[in-house]
Amino acid sequence: MGGMDSRRLAAGGLAILGGVLMLGSGYVSRGFLYTALGYAEPHISAFLSGEYAGAAVLAITIVQAVIALGGATVAAGGLAVIARHATVGRTLIWLGGGAGFLGLLVGFGYSAYRLGGVNPVLGYLPYWVGLLMAIVARRLAKGA
């Protein structure tokens, strides 16, 4: 087994484990991309007409569903990386993981503010660990 195979398997395994932790925590993060797509959807008809607007709204709905699945999307991305589909895997990990480290920091800060301090946020520690694992897996998959 070569170095690239080891890296690919490590990236895929980390993503799968991270996705399972995210799912197991019960915490749901919608992230910035999900919110931005939600704001864009009602305004599509101002820029597109007819079937183009319908297709754009359908595409936004599909991407929002993928993002909303969170941990399952991250785990699916890990499986894609293991199956030698690194680009698809990285994309799924990115979508399911809330689009990266900045999203993690903003989400943690917002949750701490909204839930009233750090103690309630620590109850979702498996989610945050899973998200960090997804971020590391995505980085590892870049070179696989």
What are the tokens at 35?
Answer: 């919110």
DSSP 83: T
Q: Which of 2-6, 25-29, 64-68 has the lowest mean pLDDT?
A: 25-29
This prediction's pTM: 0.73
Question: What digits encode the pLDDT tens for the residues 75-114?
Answer: 999 999 999 999 999 999 988 887 656 666 766 777 777 7
Task: Report whether 41 contacts 52 (CB < 8 A).
Answer: no
- Residue 64: other Cβ atoms inside 10 A: 18
